[in-house]
A and B are shown apart, each in its own frame.
Chain A
Amino acid sequence: MSGIEFIKACSAIGAGLAMIAGIGPGIGQGFAAGKGAEAVGRQPEAQSDIIRTMLLGAAVAETTGIYGLIVALILLFANPFI
């Protein structure tokens, strides 16, 4: 196996490992959605406000996952090591 092929193989593995970051946003968004459902159950008349706040929080929680996705995309399509 030549050097370039080795780097490519390792980059593919690294991209897969980078996507483990998806666990964090999954937990965070699930928590936000659960709390949102609780809040709607307690106060159904404030539903639109609750949903808006929940979506905003979920989108902010998603940021770390997106960083992982960007690292994976850079490793796959714009590899700095080759």
Chain B
Amino acid sequence: MAGPTIYGYLFGLPLTETLVNTWIVMGILIIISLLLVRNLKVVPGKAQVIAETIVNAIDNLTEQTMGKDKMGFAPYMLALFMFLLLANIAGLFALRSPTADLNVTVSLALMTFFMTQGFGLASKGLGGYLKGYLEPLPFLLPINIIGEFANPVSLSFRLFGNMLGGLIIMNLLYTALTGFMFFALVIPIPFHFYFDLFSGGLQSFIFVMLSMVFISMAMD
């Protein structure tokens, strides 16, 4: 099992398979969103109905999880969810999924981590933020600090481990089925269904949901 292929070097930085696939996912997302919001009307057409359904679903989820006063996070959460969903099911389209690379998942988790700290600081003020580390009892300070740093680690490792595990199992399966033409066509179908569609969709949902919970817990 090799890591992502390195295609070449761009300004001294490695141009990896992960990077290229991330660009493909980003391009598809931009094209889809441009197509869906073209000529918006009061009486919606087909594309507008799809866009409104997606936006409404995320708005409802944000309202239920974070509360009405934090609805401003909904666009970020929708962008995160759509990116993760497309990146996780990229395996279906014979692309190495970008989230099976620790660099991608750690950067996404660090975004959540800094948002948690920043918005917590902004909404509670410096005193309230620092006091949060001394609760419920002052001598629990080291445990609270460790717990704060464990969040991004567990968030990134969960996504990475799930995606890479699925990728490795699929690769082992395809290697084992080499030479059996008929079985290689039929047997991987349920595995793709589980590892790419179910696991990928669930993990992107979990990632977004936990980000919401962390941020709203830090704010109030």
Chain A interfacial positions (CB closer than 8 Å to B)? 52, 55-56, 59-60, 62-63, 66-67, 69-70, 73, 76-77
Q: Kindly state the separation between the CA atoms of A60 and B202 in the bound complex, as whole angstroms.
A: 12
CB-contact partner of A63 in B158, B164, B203, under 8 A: B158
Q: Are B161 and A77 in contact (CB under 8 A)?
A: no
Chain B interfacial positions (CB closer than 8 Å to A)? 1, 154, 157-158, 160-162, 164-165, 168, 202-203, 205-206, 209-210
25 A-B interface contacts by CB (under 8 A): A52-B209, A55-B206, A56-B206, A56-B209, A56-B210, A59-B158, A59-B202, A59-B203, A59-B210, A62-B158, A63-B154, A63-B157, A63-B158, A66-B157, A66-B162, A67-B161, A69-B161, A69-B165, A70-B157, A70-B160, A73-B161, A73-B164, A73-B165, A73-B168, A76-B1
CB-contact partner of B157 in A60, A67, A76, A77, under 8 A: A67
Q: Kindly state the separation between the CA atoms of A77 and B165 in the bound complex, as whole angstroms.
A: 12
Beyond A56-B209, A56-B210, A77-B1, whether A66 also contacts B161 by CB under 8 A is yes
10 smallest A-B Cβ distances: which pairs? A66-B161, A59-B206, A63-B154, A69-B161, A66-B158, A77-B1, A70-B161, A66-B157, A63-B158, A69-B165
Q: Which chain A residues lie closer than 8 Å to B165 at the CB level?
A: 69, 73
Q: Which chain B residues lie closer than 8 Å to A73 at the CB level?
A: 161, 164-165, 168
Q: Which chain B residues lie closer than 8 Å to A62 at the CB level?
A: 158
Q: Tell me, rounded to whole Å, the shortest Cβ–Cβ distance linking A65 to chain B.
A: 8
Known: A56-B209, A59-B158, A59-B206. 19 other contacts (CB 8 A): A56-B210, A59-B203, A59-B210, A62-B158, A63-B154, A63-B157, A63-B158, A66-B158, A66-B161, A66-B162, A67-B157, A67-B161, A69-B165, A70-B157, A70-B160, A73-B161, A73-B164, A73-B165, A77-B1
Q: Which chain A residue has the least Cβ–Cβ distance from B213?
A: A56
Q: Which chain A residue has the least Cβ–Cβ distance from B160?
A: A70
Q: Kindly state the separation between the CA atoms of A76 and B161 in the bound complex, as whole angstroms.
A: 14
Q: Which chain B residues lie closer than 8 Å to A60 at the CB level?
A: 210
Q: Which chain B residues lie closer than 8 Å to A56 at the CB level?
A: 206, 209-210
CB-contact partner of B205 in A55, A69, A76, under 8 A: A55
Q: Tell me, rounded to whole Å, the shortest Cβ–Cβ distance linking A74 to chain B.
A: 11
Q: Kindly state the separation between the CA atoms of A66 and B164 in the bound complex, as whole angstroms.
A: 11
Q: Kindly state the separation between the CA atoms of A52 and B206 in the bound complex, as whole angstroms.
A: 9
Q: Which chain B residue has the least Cβ–Cβ distance from A77?
A: B1
Q: Which chain B residue has the least Cβ–Cβ distance from A68?
A: B161
Q: Kindly state the separation between the CA atoms of A77 and B157 in the bound complex, as whole angstroms.
A: 16
Q: Which chain B residues lie closer than 8 Å to A69 at the CB level?
A: 161, 165
Q: Which chain A residue has the least Cβ–Cβ distance from B164?
A: A73
Q: Tell me, rounded to whole Å, the shortest Cβ–Cβ distance linking A71 to chain B.
A: 10
Q: Tell me, rounded to whole Å, the shortest Cβ–Cβ distance linking B35 to chain A.
A: 30
